[in-house]
Amino acid sequence: MQILSLALVAAVSVTEAFAPVALSSRRAVVSTLQASDKPLTELCEITKEACDAVAPMLNELYSQIKIGTGVADTAAFKSDATFFTIADGIVQHMFIEYLFAGDKFAEIVGEEDDSVVNILETPFTVDDLVVPDEFEELVIDTLEKVKALSSRIDGNAYKDLTVFVDPIDGTREFATGKGDKVTILVGYNDPAGHPQAGIIYRPLTTPHYWASGAKSEGFKDGVLDTPDEINSKGLLITDGKVSPFIMSTIENSGMNMVPSLASGNRVLMLVEGKAGAYIRDTGGFAKWDTSGPQAVLEAHGGVMAKLPEFLVDKSMVSYTHLKTNLNLDFCKMSVGLTLSNARDKGMFIPGLDSIVKDVHLVKEYSCLQGLVALAPTKMEAFYLNAIHSAMNNIKKKSPPTYT
């Protein structure tokens, strides 16, 4: 694999987007920018430094979880069968309560909003999990670094932005020794709920691979793990069951399947050139999985959108990333109730196909309308038309299943 560093503040061609740029050059360019000139760029830079700050702590916690997988008291199951970790809660707490503190943003939404975190008095706790005392000094040092970064965020420039945070996307991977698939996701969204800036950051790789960007300011940056050969015909598939719609699309389009884990990691794979598309009809992902990744992908020349509108006329319609009590992208009579999208899991009956009529039955941040994400290498009209045609050729026989 080739390690690639990007530092671009203007739109470039696909070839140029994968050309190495020295980190020293990146720093020289960014240092000339003023927050008032490029506020989203400035925000991306600070967010990246925050990810750098928490990475050592995450690596230490990851090391212990790897040793104690299955029995460690630093990991417990969520009710929806994904791992919740101490690291998850602490990182979100540091970002929301300290990095973004001071009413600098319109709203802040985090995946672990229900967690109760104490990192002020020992013993430190996350809900009923106790942070091992050998980590206390590291947590304290990390918190001080995050607090220092908070002072650099302009108090007035981002009042209309809603922040979506996924402190550890891929918690199952984190807790089972697949740390290279884990990412930190942060997205900044405008008043309409459209992602405007964000970052995808792998904290458990050496070096830390990441990408950030703000399309409206012509900014994109990152350190990418690029393959020796770009796989523009690759279509990312999840680690779960591949739906008939996706399988038929792959067969009809001549694309090849690329196994992948974790939502943020998949989008970073598109930016890196490891695949050309990430398409899904079934759910199991939420808006903290799409906010930052969409902003990054669009800044680097790709696109992410809901699937139904793309199927009709190739329209690219974004999910709505705003704080809410009811799902803002719900479509009556088109969504199947599942264990992952049900607000009350007791309403889900295994083996029974239940089409949802009432928005109150589904989680407010579940993505219920599938996904089409295309890498920069797939943005030419020929590729868009080919993918669109492949889907429409098979959708009557194998229609998408939205969940």
Average of per-residue pLDDT values in the chain: 86
State the CB neighbour count (10 A cutoff) for residue 167.
Answer: 26
- The predicted pLDDT at position 315 comes to 95
Q: What is the mean pLDDT of residues 137-152?
A: 97
- The predicted pLDDT at position 255 comes to 94
pLDDT in tens, 357-378: 899 999 999 999 999 999 998 8
- The predicted pLDDT at position 5 comes to 54
Where residue 350 falls (left for φ over 0; alpha for ψ -120 to 50; beta otherwise) is beta
Residue 228 has pLDDT above 90, yes or no: yes
Percentage of residues in the chain having pLDDT higher than 70:
85
**pLDDT interval class at 348 (50, 70, 90):** confident
Closest CA to 58 of 181, 204, 184: 204
pLDDT in tens, 21-65: 333 333 333 333 444 589 999 999 999 999 999 999 999 888 876
67 by Cβ neighbours in 10 Å (0-12 / 13-18 / 19+) ranks as exposed
**pLDDT interval class at 355 (50, 70, 90):** confident
Residue 68 has pLDDT above 70, yes or no: no
Residue 83 has pLDDT above 90, yes or no: no
Q: What is the mean pLDDT of residues 252-256?
A: 93
Residue 238 has pLDDT above 90, yes or no: no
121 by Cβ neighbours in 10 Å (0-12 / 13-18 / 19+) ranks as exposed
- The predicted pLDDT at position 66 comes to 57
HEC secondary structure over the chain: CEEEEEEECCCCCHHHHCCCCCHHHHHHHHHCCCCCCCHHHHHHHHHHHHHHHHHHHHHHHHHHHHHCCCCCCCEEECCCCCEEEHHHHHHHHHHHHHHCCCCCCCEEEECCCCCCEECCCCCCEECCEECCHHHHHHHHHHHHHHHHHHCCCCCCCCCCCEEEEEEEECHHHHHCCCHHHCEEEEEEECCCCCEEEEEEECCCCCCCCEEEEEHHHCEEEEEEEECCCCCCCEEEECCCCCCHHHHHHHHHHCCEEEECCCHHHHHHHHHHCCCCEEEECCCCCECCCCHHHHHHHHHCCCEEECHHHHHHHCCCCCCCCCCCCCCCCCCCCCCECCCCCECCHHHCCCCCCCECCCHHHECCCECCCCEEEECHHHCCHHHHHHHHHHHHHHCCCCCCCCC
Separation of alpha carbons 338 and 341, rounded Å: 5
Q: 190 with 160: CB under 8 angstroms?
A: yes
- The predicted pLDDT at position 27 comes to 34
pLDDT in tens, 265-308: 999 999 999 999 999 998 889 999 999 999 999 999 999 999 99
Residue identified by tokens 């000339």 is 32
pLDDT in tens, 166-195: 999 998 888 788 999 999 999 999 999 999
Q: What angle do CA 78, 257, 209 make, to 5 degrees?
A: 60
Residue 14 has pLDDT above 80, yes or no: no
Residue 19 has pLDDT above 80, yes or no: no
- The predicted pLDDT at position 351 comes to 59
* pTM to 2 decimal places: 0.88
Interacting residues of 15 by C-beta distance below 8 A, sequence separation 6+: none
